[in-house]
Amino acid sequence: MTQTDLMTELKDIGALKTGHFLLASGRHSDVYLEKFDLLRNPVATERVCSRFVEAFRDVAFDVVVGPTTGGILLAFETARQMRLPAAYAERVSAGGDAREIRRSTVFPEGSRVLVLDDILTTGGSVRETLVALEVHPVVVVGIGVLVDRSGGAVTFGEAPLRPLAQQNVESWEPADCPMCQRDEPLVKPGTTVTQPAS
């Protein structure tokens, strides 16, 4: 599956959307990738995670770790296909940025970890996961993401970052948004609320 094939599949299952969207940053965009339209589809998620298996075939690892929420599902399915254990980096508190590996998870000394996440924009959830792993006797040997929206600007040091696809998304401040100027309804992804254009 090439990057183009992946983006086509995401569009075909309804995860890659076009319209008028309010991003978490407050900016507006005409394109949005709703990862849960993929993650609600176990068959499509299995296919996509087989791409992670292929992308890291040359890297030896013992456990797959993902951050809440989407990264957990990708880590679990990829680990299942590799017949390896999975672990999860959960938020320490609601609304906080810190994460920790909980639920009695124990890593054998020297475990080689593959970290997986869904959408990479600023890299915050991956960095938080890397910090959570620092207190454990592990070595991070790779980082995979479903889609890199950073334009290649985000890196994580020595661990290789391998996105399954790259996506360059244009966005605008509300005052400069062409959809607002056309009075197109504004949708806040993750909700069913449609807002009037700014």
Is the pLDDT score of 179 beyond 50? yes
Domain spanning 61-166, CATH class: alpha beta
Q: What is the pLDDT of residues 77-128, one digit of tens each?
A: 999 999 999 999 999 977 677 999 999 999 999 999 999 999 998 889 999 9
Alpha carbons 150 and 17: distance in angstroms, whole number: 18
- Report pLDDT for 3: 72
Alpha-helix runs per DSSP H in the chain: 3-12, 35-39, 42-55, 70-82, 124-133, 178-181
Every domain of the chain and the residues it spans: 61-166
pLDDT value of residue 194: 46
pLDDT, one tens digit per residue, over 7-66 is 999 999 999 999 999 987 788 999 999 999 999 999 999 999 999 999 999 999 999 999
pLDDT(138) > 50 = yes
Q: Region 175-181: what's the mean pLDDT?
A: 96
pLDDT value of position 28: 93
Query: How far apart, in whole angstroms, are the C-alpha atoms of residue 19 and residue 1?
Result: 26
> Residue type at 177?
C
Tell me the pLDDT band of 189, cut-offs 50, 70 and 90. Answer: confident
Tokens of 82: 């590799």
Residue 191, pLDDT above cutoff 60:
no
For residue 95, the model assigns a pLDDT of 66
Beta-ladder partners of 148 = 120, 166
User: What pLDDT, on the 0 to 100 scale, is given for residue 121?
Assistant: 83
- The more confidently predicted of residues 3 and 32 is 32
Q: Which residues does 109 contact at the CB level (< 8 Å), separation at least 6?
A: 137
Mean pLDDT of 157-168: 90
Kindly tell me if the per-residue pLDDT of 188 is higher than 70.
yes
pTM exceeds cut of 0.95: no
